[in-house]
Copies of this chain bind each other. A is one copy, B any other.
Amino acid sequence: MELSLNQWYKVLAPRPVVLISTVNLKGVSNAAPFSFVMPCSTEPPLVIFASDPDHHTVKNILETKDFVVNIPDREILKELWICAKDFPAGVSEIKKAGLTEEKSTKVKSPGIKECLAHFECKLFKKYLAGDHLLIVGKILQAYVRDEYFPGGKYLITRANPLMHIGGNEFGLLGKVIKAK
């Protein structure tokens, strides 16, 4: 059947969901979930996400030129959903959600302690694409929880990352299969 051009993106799912944390020049932090996100280069290491250009996340990134991409797991779904709400500019979603800010090594934006991995990013480029702004970040430093990356192998089923399906529906990884 024909799929409405308002709906097509629902079928490009589930998508990884990340929490992007930022801070403005007044020191007010912010975090919001995004699922229009992907790696886009290995050397240099670049990540890209698409945002409403008016989002606080974008405003903060344009002020400080940096952000942190945090990978949430199943344990903080409730907190992630609080971060998705629209709070006034002076309010930190991270605090509202009861999450913990963690000082970053190479950027002003804080990470979120409860997330299983963090990528500290410097704004690399931005492009307007339709109704979203594409933000490309260069990863300066990356961290993952020790127990999920023993011997250089990511134990994804143990990490249990959240994926976004649509609206308030999220998915968890089920079976892992190998192509031959």
Binding site for B on A (CB under 8 A): 1-16, 18, 35-50, 69, 71, 74, 77-78, 80-81, 84, 116-117, 119, 124-125, 127, 129-132, 134, 136, 139, 141-146, 148-149, 152, 154, 156, 159, 161, 163, 165-166, 168-180
Known A2-B143, A154-B10; contact A40-B169, beta-carbon cutoff 8 A:
no
The one of B3, B131, B166 that contacts A43, using a Cβ cutoff of 8 Å: B131
Task: Give the docked Cα–Cα distance between A5 and B39 (Å).
Answer: 12
Q: How many copies does the complex hold?
A: 2
The 4 closest A-B pairs by CB, nearest first: A41-B130, A174-B174, A81-B179, A9-B39
Expressed in whole angstroms, the minimum distance between the Cβ of A124 and any Cβ of chain B is 8
Which residues of chain B are near A169, meaning CB under 8 Å?
Answer: 176-179
